[in-house]
Every structure is written in structure tokens, then in C-alpha cells.
């Protein structure tokens, strides 16, 4: 029986031990990789994005396609100063239409207004003068009435003295101390004083009546002046309203830029052309910040996309591999659906991509990071969603719509 050499036996045993150790190390490495992968699968956090391919860049004001400039009235173009690419400021004159008849009518109304104003001023001056005259007349008539009243009182006092004197002489005549001639003279003086007192009283009444009559006449004249001034003021106000209307009509024929921006497009217009009301004359693209607007399905947006979430936008026409994406932030989420979608607005950081030319209407794709979950959770969600779809597909529906 042949036997192996001792050194060969030892070599064979050493090779077996090394082989076992190699397999052990391979197993340890495999277990470590598996454990690391399981740890990543269970505990790692990966971003979940909601994606919308229906996104585009817009002006922040929401003026789709810019601000249109339409003809406010129909008329003949007499001056035009617009061109594509021209920068304008709000209020700059872009086009003028013929307003000759309106300007003539405005000048006529202005002249009428000035004439009415002069007439009203003259009436007011006359009324003020008559008020001063009336005040002075009242003072003079009050003095005249006071003088007449004083004369009446004096006449009454003279009557009383004459009556007392006649009574006294009558007593003296009866006692023989006075003559018949003296008594007759006293009675004559008494009657004269009575007539004088009556005349003085009538003079006071006549003067008071004349004062009332002349006061009524003067007040009537003042009221007539006031009525005339009121009528002229009404005509002046109508003239002012006419001027305001004509000024508005003239201003309507001066077409101005609605906002600051750049002329995006113009209609083929020339001086002498007649345009109809509402005709599109030009479009002004405003110089203002841009935003992004995207449409999401209700299931992906409602309750998941919120204000302040980070997002990114990839623009069509600017390859992602060369220009990258544009950082964005959710600004507003619509509370209601429109045409079956939920609109979401984003603030764009346009400063990080100097090679990208941002313009209104530029389309693209928006990705919104809505949450971070583990791969295991993601897998479970996918399996649950798949099982739900399979079960709904497997359940037959009756003609009445019941399962």
C-alpha cells in the first residue's frame, strides 16, 4: 500500500484551512453588505417628487401674452410712434387719433364757461353792493322813523298841554277870572295840537309802510340776482361737465402705454389709416419678475404640495445636461380645481442660470419635493397601490354600477 509523503499531507491540510477561511471572509463581507443594504433600505431617507409636465414661465401679474393695447374708439390715425422691441414707460404716447372736432368743441365750451364765470362774478358783485346799500338804507330809515316818532310824541305832549290849559281857562271863565277871548284862544290851540298829533302819527305810519315796501322791493331784487346767479352757475356746471366729457374723448384718442415694458408686437398701422373700436394696435410685454405655473392632478397636489416647499424646473429648449435646472419654491396652491387640475405657482431663482433666457410662455417640467421616506416605505406603498389596482380590476361591475 502506497502512502503519501508527509509534506504533501501538510500542504493539503493548509490549503483546506485557507479555503475555509476564504469562504468565511466572503460570507462575512456578504452579510455586512446585506446588513448595510437592509439598513439603508429601512432607515435611509430619499426624496419623493411630484412631477408636472404642464408647466410654463409667466409674468407675475398674470398678463398672458403681455398687456394688449386696443383702440378705445374708432377714428383716423394722425400720429404713430411704436415699433417692435421699443422700450416704453407707463403713460408714454404710442398713437394719436384725430380729435379736431372734439378740441374745437372743448375750446367753445371753455369760452362759454369763462363767460358764465364773468357774469356770475358781476352778479355777485352787484348783489354785494346792493346788500351794502340795503344795510345803509336800513340804518337811515331807522333814524327817520325815530325822528318821526319823536315828533309824534312831541305832538302828543303838546295836545296834552293844550287840553289842560283849555280846561283850566274854562274854570277861570266860569269864575269870571278869564275872558271869553282867552278861552276861545286856548280851545283853538288845543284843536291845532290835536290835528298836529294826528298828522305826526300818520307820518310815522306812512314812513313805516314805505320802509316795508322798499325793503320788500330791495329783497326781491336781491332774490332775483341770486336766482340769476344760480341759473348761471347751473349753466357753468353743465359747461364744466361738457368740458370733462370732451377732455375724456380727446384723451381716448391718445393711446398710451398701459405699463412699463417692451413692445412685443404691433399691427400694420400708418398715419391716415382708419381703425375700428377694439382693434388690437400693439402688445406691451411688461418688465417684471417671472414666476412658474404648473398643473397637477388633485391626488398629487392637494394635501401634499404646500407653500414653501423646494422645487426645480427643467426648461424645454435648454437641455438639462447643459443648463441644469432652475431652483424654485412653492408660492401658492390653488384651493379649487380648474378643468380637473390644481394650479400651483412657483417663485423662480433666475440668477443661477445666466445662460438661460427667461421669457413669458417658456414651457418646462416642474418637480416638487413633497416628502422624504425610506425605500422600504416606498416599496410598501408601491405594492399596496399595485394590489389596490389589481383588486379593483378583478372586481366585476354590474350594469347598475354595483360590484
pLDDT at 9: 56
pLDDT of 193 strictly over 50: yes
Is 10 part of any domain?
no
Considering the domain architecture, whether residues 206 and 340 belong to the same structural domain is answered as no
Query: How confident is the prediction for the chain on average, in pLDDT?
Result: 81
d(CA 309, CA 326): 14
Number of folded domains in the chain?
Answer: 3
- The answer to whether residues 163 and 190 touch, using CB atoms and an 8 Å cutoff, is yes
Q: Examine residue 1 and state whether it is found in any structural domain, yes or no.
A: no
Q: Name the pLDDT band for 371 (thresholds 50, 70, 90).
A: confident
374 and 342 both lie in a single domain: yes
Question: Measuring CA to CA, how many Å separate 336 from each of 150, 155, 333, 365?
Answer: 95, 102, 9, 22
pLDDT in tens, 4-19: 454 545 555 555 666 6
The whole-number pLDDT of residue 4 equals 47
- Whether the pLDDT of residue 394 is over 50: the answer is no
- Write out pLDDT tens, residues 231-283: 989 999 999 999 999 999 999 999 998 888 888 788 888 898 898 998 888 88
Mark whether 109 and 244 lie in a shared domain: yes
* Domain match, 131 and 236 both: yes
Residue 397 lies in a domain: no
Those residues whose C-beta lies under 8 Å from the C-beta of residue 99, and which sit 6 or more positions away, are: 75, 249, 250, 253, 254
Least confident of 1-10, 80-89, 350-359: 1-10
Confidence (pLDDT) at 60: 65
Same domain (yes/no): 191, 328 = no
Is the model's pLDDT at 388 over the cut of 70?
Answer: no
Statement to judge: residues 314 and 381 lie in one domain:
yes
Looking at the fold, whether 114 and 233 belong to one and the same domain comes out as: yes
Is the pLDDT score of 284 beyond 90? no
- Checking if the pLDDT of 401 tops 60, the result is no
Using a pLDDT cut of 70, give the percent of the chain over it: 89
Q: In this structure, are 258 and 374 located in the same domain?
A: no
**Residues 357, 184: Cα–Cα separation, whole Å:** 132
Residue 326, domain member (yes or no): yes
Q: Average pLDDT in the 84-90 region?
A: 84
308 and 349 together in one domain? yes
Same domain flag for 105 and 238: yes
Average pLDDT over residues 310-331: 85
Give the structural domain span for 82: 67-98+254-285
Q: Has residue 399 got a pLDDT over 60?
A: no
**In a shared domain, residues 372 and 313:** yes
261 by Cβ neighbours in 10 Å (0-12 / 13-18 / 19+) ranks as buried
Q: What is the CATH number of the domain that holds 354?
A: 2.40.30.170
- Considering the domain boundaries, does residue 13 fall inside one? no
Residue 147 lies in a domain: yes
82 and 106, same domain (yes or no): no
> In this model, does residue 48 exceed pLDDT 70?
yes
Question: For residue 195, is it within any domain?
Answer: yes
Above 90 in pLDDT, residue 304? no
Assign residue 128 the CATH number of its domain: 1.10.287
Asked, for residue 27, whether it belongs to a domain, the answer is: no
Amino acid at each position: 500500500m502506497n502512502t503519501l509523503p508527509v509534506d504533501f499531507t501538510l500542504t493539503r491540510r493548509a490549503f483546506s484551512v485557507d479555503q475555509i477561511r476564504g469562504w468565511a471572509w466572503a460570507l462575512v463581507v456578504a452579510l455586512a453588505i446585506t446588513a448595510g443594504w437592509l439598513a439603508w433600505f429601512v432607515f435611509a431617507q430619499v426624496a419623493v417628487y411630484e412631477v408636472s409636465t404642464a408647466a410654463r414661465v409667466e409674468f407675475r401679474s398674470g398678463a398672458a401674452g403681455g398687456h394688449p393695447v386696443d383702440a378705445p374708439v374708432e377714428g383716423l390715425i394722425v400720429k404713430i410712434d411704436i415699433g417692435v422691441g421699443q422700450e416704453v414707460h407707463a403713460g408714454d404716447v404710442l398713437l394719436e387719433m384725430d380729435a379736431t372736432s372734439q378740441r374745437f368743441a372743448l375750446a367753445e365750451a371753455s369760452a362759454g364757461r369763462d363767460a358764465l364765470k364773468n357774469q356770475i362774478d358781476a352778479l355777485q358783485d352787484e348783489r354785494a353792493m346792493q346788500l351794502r346799500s340795503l344795510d345803509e338804507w336800513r340804518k337811515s330809515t331807522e333814524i327817520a322813523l325815530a325822528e318821526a316818532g319823536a315828533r309824534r310824541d312831541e305832538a302828543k305832549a303838546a295836545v296834552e298841554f293844550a287840553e289842560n290849559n283849555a280846561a283850566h281857562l274854562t274854570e277861570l271863565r266860569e269864575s269870571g277870572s278869564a275872558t271869553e277871548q282867552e278861552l276861545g284862544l286856548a280851545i283853538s290851540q288845543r284843536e291845532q295840537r290835536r290835528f298836529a298829533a294826528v298828522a305826526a302819527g300818520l307820518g310815522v305810519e306812512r314812513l313805516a309802510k314805505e320802509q316795508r315796501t322798499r325793503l320788500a322791493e330791495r329783497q326781491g331784487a336781491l332774490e332775483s340776482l341770486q336766482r340769476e346767479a344760480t341759473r348761471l352757475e347751473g349753466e357753468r356746471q353743465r359747461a364744466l361737465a361738457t368740458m370733462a366729457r370732451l377732455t375724456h374723448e380727446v384723451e381716448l384718442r391718445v393711446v398710451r402705454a398701459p405699463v412699463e415694458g417692451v413692445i412685443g408686437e404691433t399691427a400694420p398701422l400708418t398715419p391716415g389709416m382708419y381703425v375700428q373700436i377694439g382693434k388690437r394696435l400693439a402688445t406691451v410685454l411688461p418688465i417684471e419678475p417671472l414666476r412658474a405655473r404648473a398643473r397637477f392632478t388633485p391626488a398629487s397636489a392637494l394635501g401634499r404640495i404646500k407653500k414653501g416647499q423646494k422645487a426645480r424646473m427643467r426648461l424645454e429648449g435648454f437641455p438639462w445636461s447643459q443648463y441644469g435646472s432652475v431652483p424654485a419654491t412653492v408660492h401658492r396652491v390653488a384651493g379649487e380645481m380648474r378643468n380637473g387640475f390644481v394650479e400651483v405657482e412657483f417663485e423662480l431663482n433666475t440668477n443661477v442660470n445666466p445662460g438661460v433666457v427667461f421669457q413669458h410662455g417658456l414651457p418646462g417640467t416642474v418637480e416638487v419635493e413633497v416628502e422624504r421616506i425610506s425605500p422600504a416605505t416606498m416599496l410598501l406603498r408601491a405594492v399596496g397601490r399595485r394590489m389596490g389596482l389589481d383588486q379593483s380590476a378583478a372586481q366585476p361591475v354590474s350594469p347598475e354600477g354595483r360590484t
